[in-house]
């Protein structure tokens, strides 16, 4: 199963991706983690990314796509993957579709975890307190939510138009949200 997890910061993507990874037996690929690993490994794409980041610029879609192409060519992705943090805009969504087609892999679903913005602010305020994360203060969170809404709304619509969007309520106990995701994407693999 090849999945993209969509959802605002604090919607539970990372938490649910870890659970889905175990349940579906496919890797969880976070573009942030992938980028850091490539830089640390000193790969050609990692060195390009390091240079871009040293200038304070954002890593280009071309570099990220190259890293994804390399990652998708590894044996552990043969039966699928869970992609988190990509695509973030329409150009990336179209590029991901093209990449998968060029690799002869079919895309299964984009899962959007929906959580009310005020609940996200509360969740992240709790995380900020527990983990000492300054970037999770209410003002910063609201700004990140605005940016997410502006950039990701077209991506959600892209997957809706392609008949690949599954919307799941991300509110409630972790087990309940997980069960909703599995029932939506793979009812035959639902936990009984």
Q: How many helices (H) and strands (E) does the chain have?
A: 8, 5
Q: Which entry of 21, 69, 127, 142 is annotated as an active-site residue?
A: 127
- Residue 185 · residue 109 · CB < 8 Å: yes
Confirm whether pTM is higher than 0.75.
yes
Q: For position 21, which CATH number holds?
A: 3.40.50.300
| pLDDT (average), residues 31-43 | 88
Chain-centre distance of CA 29, in angstroms?
8
Q: Which entry of 21, 88, 142, 160 is annotated as an active-site residue?
A: 88
Q: Is residue 57 part of a domain?
A: no
Q: Which of 46, 184, 27, 25 has the alpha carbon at shortest distance from 108?
A: 184
Mean of per-residue pLDDT scores for the chain: 89
Return the pLDDT at 152: 83
Q: By three-state DSSP, how is residue 29 classified?
A: strand
Segment (H or E) for 83: strand 81-84
Return the pLDDT at 172: 95
Contacts of 165 (CB under 8 A, 6+ apart): 109, 110, 112, 156, 159
Could you give the CA distance from residue 18 to residue 153 in angstroms, rounded to a whole number? 24
Give the domain extent around 20: 2-30+81-187
Could you give the CA distance from residue 108 to residue 120 in angstroms, rounded to a whole number? 27
Q: Is residue 50 part of a domain?
A: no
Q: Is residue 121 part of a domain?
A: yes
**Predicted confidence (pLDDT) at residue 92 exceeds the cutoff of 90:** yes
The confidence band for 192, taking pLDDT boundaries of 50, 70 and 90, is low
Return the pLDDT at 155: 94
User: Could you give the C-alpha distances from 182 to 158, 161, 188, 189, in angstroms and in order?
Assistant: 22, 22, 9, 7
Q: Which of 156, 184, 155, 153 has the alpha carbon at shortest distance from 168?
A: 184
Q: Is residue 53 part of a domain?
A: no
Q: Which entry of 21, 50, 144, 160 is annotated as an active-site residue?
A: 144
Q: Is residue 62 part of a domain?
A: no
pLDDT tens digit sequence for 101-125: 999 998 899 999 999 999 998 888 8
Domain count, the chain: 1
Q: Which entry of 13, 19, 71, 180 is annotated as an active-site residue?
A: 13
* 2-6, 14-18, 177-181, 184-188: least confident range: 184-188
Could you identify the residue written with the tokens 């799941």? 168
Whether residue 127 lies in the annotated active site: yes
Q: Is residue 76 part of a domain?
A: no
Q: Is residue 6 part of a domain?
A: yes
Q: Which entry of 133, 143, 180, 189 is annotated as an active-site residue?
A: 133
| pLDDT (average), residues 142-161 | 89
Whether residue 133 lies in the annotated active site: yes
Q: Is residue 21 part of a domain?
A: yes
| pLDDT (average), residues 155-171 | 95
């Amino acid at each position: 199963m090849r999945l993209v997890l969509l959802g605002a910061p604090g919607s539970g993507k990372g938490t649910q991706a870890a659970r889905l990874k175990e349940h579906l037996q496919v890797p969880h690929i976070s573009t942030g983690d992938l980028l850091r690993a490539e830089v640390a490994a000193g790969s050609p794409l990692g060195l390009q990314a390091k240079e871009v980041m040293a200038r304070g610029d954002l890593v280009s879609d071309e570099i990220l796509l190259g890293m994804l192409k390399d990652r998708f060519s590894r044996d552990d992705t043969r039966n699928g993957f869970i992609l988190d943090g990509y695509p973030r805009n329409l150009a990336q969504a179209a590029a991901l579709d093209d990449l998968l087609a060029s690799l002869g892999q079919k895309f299964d679903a984009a899962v959007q975890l929906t959580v009310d913005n005020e609940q996200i602010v509360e969740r992240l305020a709790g995380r900020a307190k527990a983990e000492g994360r300054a970037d999770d203060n209410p003002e910063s969170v609201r700004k990140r939510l605005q940016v997410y809404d502006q950039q990701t709304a077209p991506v959600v619509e892209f997957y809706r138009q392609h008949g690949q969007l599954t919307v799941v309520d991300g509110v409630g106990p972790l087990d309940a949200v997980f069960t909703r995701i599995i029932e939506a994407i793979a009812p035959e693999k639902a936990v009984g």
